[in-house]
Amino acid sequence: MVIKQPARTGSRSKRKKKGIQYKKVGFKLTVGQKKALERFCKMNKLTPVRFMKSLVNNYVARYREEPHPPSYVTKNQLKLFDQEK
């Protein structure tokens, strides 16, 4: 005996997530700085890019824009707490 599954109604497609935009940044290091960076990364099992990104993130985290909380007020909301006299 075969049990039939009910047919699905409606489309439940997921929205595609908005991609992250990247920007290229370049700077120069001296030969000694490059060797020291490579030595540090090898000792700490990091890549130079991962190391530099963590440094930048630590310094700029406090300067990021705070997202505004969404307003949940609808046009049908009761006006119980309005200060009108």
Measured at the CA of 84, the angle between CA 72 and CA 80, to 5 degrees, comes to 45
Residues 6+ apart with CB under 8 A from 47: 41
Q: List pLDDT tens digits, range 22-74.
A: 999 999 999 999 999 999 999 999 999 999 999 999 999 888 888 777 777 77
Q: List pLDDT tens digits, range 17-26.
A: 888 899 999 9
pTM listed for this prediction: 0.53
Token pair of 66, please? 């705070």
CA atoms of 16 and 79, how far apart (whole Å): 38
Token pair of 19, please? 């991609």
